[in-house]
Structure 1
Amino acid sequence: MTPLHDPLRPIVFAYTVVRDALAAGADGRCTRDPDGTVLAVSGAPVATLNGVINPNRDPNPQVLESLAGDPSLTGLPWSIQVRGRAGRAVTEVAARFGLTAVSTLPLMIRRPGAGVLPGPAGSLRIRRVEDGELGLYARTMAEGFGVPHEVFAMFAEPALAKTEHFVFYLAEADGVVVGTGMSAVSDHLVGVFNIGVLPQHRRQGHGQAITAEIIRVGQSAGATTAYLYSSPMGEPVYASLGFRTEEVLTVFTAPV
């Protein structure tokens, strides 16, 4: 199936490339089947950062099962991620590996002509992470997502800062770090990741401002379209910036 008949595939494929690169930067395991399905194992204790991701509308259950059996997943929280609502065959593959908890993430896309982006409000400053600041970035991101620091320790790896097309951002208000973001530019696409704001600094427009800055920088690099997978909490924020939900990603994980 070509992108002509599946216009969202290049966007989902770009997402798999980001997951692949994150795994490689964390010295993990990554491999790709000829049909585009990727196994990306970062080693982080986060199910969505380890597992099998399929960029096709009609995933091949045999390919999913083959990659899901990789021993590098042993002992880690992991996931199988497929586009849209999963069919019976995919659901059965996931169940054979104990992945019976199902959730969905909206794929939100901001296309050309979506309007003017707002600028940072007040004293907010959004800047690139400097050398030696990845530890600060990882800690701030963990606090923004409300998880222990070790969950996102992989983002302190120096190799990630050198990954081509990745840019990490810190947001500061009155000189105090309040949030994070990350972008990944490929061809005409800019992916938006890791938008997190510390709890005590929420509801001030910081998440919106970080996202807008990532889009602006992406546009200056030639990206005409922005994409992200949103949490329920973030969906209204991204909609206010011109993002629209065009598909969902179904995520299979082990029940907690």
Structure 2
Amino acid sequence: MAQLHDPLRPIVFAYTDVCDDLATATSGRFHRDPEGTVLAVSGAPVATLNAVVSPNLEPDPEVVEALAGEVSGTGLPWSIQVRGRAGKAITQVAAQYGLTAVTTTPLMIRRPGAGMLPVPAGSLRIRPVAGDELGPYARTMAEGFGVPLEVFAMFAEPALAKREHFTFYLAEADGVPVGTGMAAVTDNLVGVFNISVLPQHRRQGHGQAITAEIIRAGNDAGATTAYLYSSTMGEPVYASLGFRTEEILTAFTAPA
């Protein structure tokens, strides 16, 4: 009954749909419990991209534990993700699998009527890319996040470009790649992901411009609300575009 009074549930479900698409296009390993909890394994060496995710305000510890048992045997870094502050039962399940590092990430939402969006300035060009350009996309994203290419090699998989709800964006200044973004449109929602800017091109408004272009394109596709899970660095940028924090996501991972 509590789920009937959970206005953020459609947004969190949209996020799990993104997990579904990523896993399906890469490893093909995805499972959703009848109550919505998902197991999504992308195969990437990133804990948040191989996860058990509950979209429920009160996650079922037994369901989470059962799905955790499936992903723990893959040998990949992985995580358990739940909404809000995790309760004792979920914390114990995570600890049972050695997931004792806890991080929280704000869910930021841009509602209709949040104001005008800025347009790219100067020579910046933001364009969607096809499957044969996902290699440069993945390289730019990895450099923007400061990690080896193999961490995000899955984003060079041409099959991702064929997913109906995904659009990948490359930002270029004078023809040189400087940043990335990814949109995931589900019904009236557009999810904003993979916003990265190369270190030498930061503090020029590029991250804001990429995000604004994704929102604008999402609006054109019928999405009236935008959402994202923000890094600490990105929060002020997204707030300047009308996003507001409405919830947090708690992730359990193995200690570094």
Once residues 3 and 192 of structure 1 are traced to their aligned partners in structure 2, the CA distance between those partners, rounded to angstroms, is 25
Partner of 1:229: 229
Specify every segment of 5 or more residues in structure 2 that has no aligned partner in the other structure, as ranges. Answer: none
Partner of 2:151: 151
Which deviations, in whole Å up to 9, do the C-alpha atoms of 1:194-247 show, x marking residues without a partner?
000011100000000000000000000100000000000000000000000000
Once residues 250 and 169 of structure 1 are traced to their aligned partners in structure 2, the CA distance between those partners, rounded to angstroms, is 28
How many Å apart are 1:121 and its aligned residue?
1.0
Once residues 131 and 99 of structure 1 are traced to their aligned partners in structure 2, the CA distance between those partners, rounded to angstroms, is 35
Specify every segment of 5 or more residues in structure 1 that has no aligned partner in the other structure, as ranges. Answer: none
Counterparts in 2 of 1:32-71, with a 5 A limit? 32-70=32-70
Is the 1:51–1:73 Cα contact (8 Å) retained in structure 2? no
Is the 1:14–1:186 Cα contact (8 Å) retained in structure 2? yes
Alpha-carbon RMSD across the aligned residues, in angstroms, is: 1.1
Partner of 1:199: 199
Classify the secondary structure of the residue corresponding to 1:231. Answer: coil
Is the 2:138–2:153 Cα contact (8 Å) retained in structure 1? yes
Change (3 A) 1:131 1:21: closer
How many Å apart are 1:71 and its aligned residue?
5.0
Once residues 31 and 198 of structure 2 are traced to their aligned partners in structure 1, the CA distance between those partners, rounded to angstroms, is 35
The runs of 4+ residues in structure 1 deviating greater than 6 Å are: none
Partner of 2:214: 214
Is the 1:180–1:197 Cα contact (8 Å) retained in structure 2? yes
Once residues 251 and 72 of structure 1 are traced to their aligned partners in structure 2, the CA distance between those partners, rounded to angstroms, is 15
Classify the secondary structure of the residue corresponding to 1:69. Answer: helix
Is the 2:72–2:97 Cα contact (8 Å) retained in structure 1? no
Counterparts in 2 of 1:3-152, with a 5 A limit? 4-70=4-70, 73-152=73-152
User: Percent of aligned positions with the same letter in both sequences?
Assistant: 79
Once residues 217 and 51 of structure 1 are traced to their aligned partners in structure 2, the CA distance between those partners, rounded to angstroms, is 29
Report the TM-score when normalising by structure 1.
0.98
Once residues 241 and 71 of structure 2 are traced to their aligned partners in structure 1, the CA distance between those partners, rounded to angstroms, is 41
Report the TM-score when normalising by structure 2.
0.98
Classify the secondary structure of the residue corresponding to 2:5. Answer: coil
Classify the secondary structure of the residue corresponding to 2:51. Answer: strand
Change (3 A) 1:88 1:3: closer
Classify the secondary structure of the residue corresponding to 1:98. Answer: coil
Is the 2:125–2:171 Cα contact (8 Å) retained in structure 1? yes
Which deviations, in whole Å up to 9, do the C-alpha atoms of 1:153-172 show, x marking residues without a partner?
00011110100110000000
Once residues 104 and 185 of structure 1 are traced to their aligned partners in structure 2, the CA distance between those partners, rounded to angstroms, is 24
Classify the secondary structure of the residue corresponding to 1:223. Answer: coil
How many Å apart are 1:73 and its aligned residue?
4.5
Once residues 81 and 3 of structure 1 are traced to their aligned partners in structure 2, the CA distance between those partners, rounded to angstroms, is 18
How many Å apart are 1:79 and its aligned residue?
0.1
Is the 2:51–2:79 Cα contact (8 Å) retained in structure 1? yes
The answer to whether the aligner puts 1:175 opposite 2:175 as a matched pair is yes
Is the 1:29–1:72 Cα contact (8 Å) retained in structure 2? no
Which deviations, in whole Å up to 9, do the C-alpha atoms of 1:70-120 show, x marking residues without a partner?
057421100000000001011000000000000000000000000000000
